[in-house]
Structure 1
């Protein structure tokens, strides 16, 4: 473990303990796996975690050591999201998200996935001043942190839109390929054309959104063809 102060060490140990307890809950109480079975599933995923290592993670006897690779593979092996291991007390259980920062698990989760804030329920300093409330330097600094976070995570909200578009594309494609739309009568042709127009609209909107992602320096590797 790095040479860190006592409070930081305590937080690190608590975090590892929280994840370990969540791993045990999902492994034993929910999935009914033995530690050996979970170890085998990790190996099948290409990142072996021994039975002994699983036990040590669950019992937090590795001095707080928990690798990101282990977290990812354990979550996949347990068929859960990694955040369910990091924040097992969702939605309203308390969690020390960073040293000394007690939050609701829901707030911590939303921050983690880029859809929340750094500091919750923080009034705007300008509005607070208008209302005659005292605004401290700490308050202003926290507000600036929220603004920087919002700017950095704006693309995460656009990704939500992209996911909705992909769902619409899949839905329309499935409809178009359904046997009930394969007829040559006027009604079937009209329905295919209507769906085709919707598909073209969705693909066009997706292309524009992905262009915005590319301009923002995000990774874009997407090719599609309209169903024939």
Structure 2
């Protein structure tokens, strides 16, 4: 466990340093103060150089991400989308899957089962939701629908719309990672395909 904590802190520190670029640690510290939560220069330096002990407070991650103008998941899981990362002790996944689990877009790994294959779980989840959506209702035989109570049909339609919304959000969120184009700069044809 201690190794995972220190590895996570080192990973986050390296990403903060990379994102900071040529700007000084003092600049970043001043920027966090402007945002209302001061992170001392020494704390930033110790984090960036792997000398910081213990866990990182979530407040620091959020304010540092704001100061660097990136989403917190970019600091937590650098190398999006495909870099390997240890999401939790013993759970190694791609950075994008870690970000999806962190945001709730993907199920959390089950605890207490040392043999769990998180990569297989993420593939199964993607396969299970791939063909589900409002279009699924079109595949159901009209006679089958007519046999169902109205409440069940309404719930099916609502669920299908919810899945469509989640899938649309995921496509919009992941498009820039896969193609390197910010969502607001996609052309209209691509935008229709991904959102």
TM-score under structure 1 normalisation?
Answer: 0.49
The answer to whether residue 40 in structure 2 is matched with residue 41 in structure 1 is: no
SS in 2 for 1:117: coil
Q: CA RMSD in A?
A: 2.4
Q: Distance in 2 between matches of 1:110 and 1:78?
A: 21
- In structure 1, what is the equivalent of residue 5 of structure 2? 12
Structure 1: runs of 5 or more not aligned: 1-7, 125-153, 165-228
Q: Distance in 2 between matches of 1:55 and 1:65?
A: 15
- In structure 2, what is the equivalent of residue 113 of structure 1? 103
SS in 2 for 1:23: helix
- In structure 1, what is the equivalent of residue 83 of structure 2? 93
Shift of 1:120: 4.4
Shift of 1:109: 1.1
Length, aligned pairs only: 121
Q: Relative CO higher for 1 or 2, CA cutoff 8 Å, sep ≥ 6?
A: 2
Write the deviation string for residues 121-162 of structure 1: whole angstroms up to 9, x where unpaired.
3459xxxxxxxxxxxxxxxxxxxxxxxxxxxxx9xx68x57x
Q: Distance in 1 between matches of 2:70 and 2:54?
A: 22
Write the deviation string for residues 155-174 of structure 1: whole angstroms up to 9, x where unpaired.
xx68x57x98xxxxxxxxxx
Structure 2: runs of 5 or more not aligned: 109-117, 126-158, 170-195
Provide runs of 4+ in structure 1 moved above 2 Å: 117-124
Alignment of 1:186-205 (within 5 A): none
Shift of 1:93: 0.8
Q: Distance in 2 between matches of 1:106 and 1:15?
A: 16
SS in 2 for 1:17: helix
SS in 1 for 2:120: coil
Q: Which has the larger radius of gyration?
A: 1
SS in 1 for 2:85: strand
SS in 2 for 1:19: helix
Q: Distance in 2 between matches of 1:55 and 1:81?
A: 21
SS in 1 for 2:15: helix
- In structure 1, what is the equivalent of residue 73 of structure 2? 83
Q: Distance in 2 between matches of 1:47 and 1:38?
A: 12
